[in-house]
Amino acid sequence: MSLRIVVTVKYVPDATGDRHFADDLTVDRDDVDGLLSELDEYAVEQALQIAEDADDAEVTVLTVGPEDAKDALRKALSMGADKAIHVEDDDLHGTDAIGTSLVLAKAIEKAGFDLVVSGMASTDGTMGVVPALVAERLGVPQVTLLSEVSVEDGTVKGRRDGDAASEQLEAQLPALVSVTDQSGEARYPSFKGIMAAKKKPVESWDLSDLDIEAEEVGLEGAFTKVETAAARPARTAGTIVKDEGEGGKQLAEFLASQKFI
């Protein structure tokens, strides 16, 4: 039977762009270009490699995001994924990580899966919690932060590198893994891949397709609330220490005054 791999990919605001908060203190996504989170490119790459090593496998990429999030799906399809699912609904506005994990888990269940592959964190929220939340909701083992991953005989195996030691981990499928930016360079989409992606299926689901009530997500369902937000003050010129024999002392005094030492 075909190995069904679902990769969670997030569409994030371009970090090089100017980002703002909207009036309700959510990120103003209309005003800034977005792209596939760079850390999720590693997840797509590992999923494609697992699929290439399997006799029969299908890679589905899944995103929860606004209309433009289709761009992230197209990029993943042009890298080689087989099909895509886009969950979009006006009621998702303001959804936090817990709500996002609910939507992802319901969509993954509906799609059917043997293995879920996620990134280690998004490049905007950077909480790194969604994969664990999704695995918990799906009731499957989670093997997170892997630098190396493979699937053999219904078992997913991988290596997690810590500061002092590396661990070899494995779990029976169905399972969820998240992969780090050390797992291997993500491939660039080829011209052929870009052309092929245009014809690959992209399904669109909303909350009713997933039996999720509006109150469970959005600002109303969020467990966190942004009370205030302020733009970061503009950078001021730094302190210049002119060394006339006392430079080291002045430097130490400055660091002490800033509580660095």
Ligand X SMILES: Cc1cc2nc3c(=O)[nH]c(=O)nc-3n(C[C@H](O)[C@H](O)[C@H](O)COP(=O)(O)OP(=O)(O)OC[C@H]3O[C@@H](n4cnc5c(N)ncnc54)[C@H](O)[C@@H]3O)c2cc1C
Q: Which of residues 105-124 bind ligand X (CB under 6 A)?
A: 118-119, 121-122, 124
The encoded tokens of residue 34 equal 């977005």
Report whether 23 contacts 46 (CB < 8 A): no
Instruction: Quote the least distance from Cβ 137 to ligand X, whole Å.
Output: 13
Q: Does 102 bind ligand X (CB under 6 A)?
A: no
For ligand X, the closer CB: 26 or 147 = 26
Instruction: Quote the least distance from Cβ 119 to ligand X, whole Å.
Output: 3
Instruction: Quote the least distance from Cβ 167 to ligand X, whole Å.
Output: 20
Q: In what order do the strands lie in the sheet with 166-172?
A: 148-152, 155-161, 166-172
Q: Does 131 bind ligand X (CB under 6 A)?
A: yes
Bridge partners for 204 per DSSP: 86
Select the residue interacting with ligand X from 59, 102, 105, 130 (CB under 6 A).
130
Number of residues that bind ligand X (CB under 6 A): 33
Q: Which stretch binds ligand X (CB under 6 A): 13-21, 49-57, 63-71, 190-198?
A: 63-71
Instruction: Quote the least distance from Cβ 35 to ligand X, whole Å.
Output: 13
Select the residue interacting with ligand X from 32, 54, 111, 129 (CB under 6 A).
129
Q: At what angle do helices 97-111 and 130-138 cross, to 10 degrees?
A: 50
- 28: CB partners within 8 A, 6+ apart: 19, 20, 21, 22
Select the residue interacting with ligand X from 2, 15, 112, 126 (CB under 6 A).
126
Select the residue interacting with ligand X from 51, 96, 115, 180 (CB under 6 A).
96
Instruction: Quote the least distance from Cβ 107 to ligand X, whole Å.
Output: 9
| 79 HSE (CA, 13 A, CB side) | 30
Q: Which of residues 219-248 bind ligand X (CB under 6 A)?
A: 224
Q: Does 176 bind ligand X (CB under 6 A)?
A: no
Q: How far apart are CA 139 and CA 134, in angstroms?
A: 8
Q: Does 10 bind ligand X (CB under 6 A)?
A: yes
Select the residue interacting with ligand X from 3, 5, 35, 39 (CB under 6 A).
39
Select the residue interacting with ligand X from 46, 60, 78, 100 (CB under 6 A).
100
Positions that interact with ligand X (CB under 6 A): 8-10, 26, 37, 39-40, 43, 63-66, 92-97, 100, 104, 118-119, 121-122, 124-131, 224
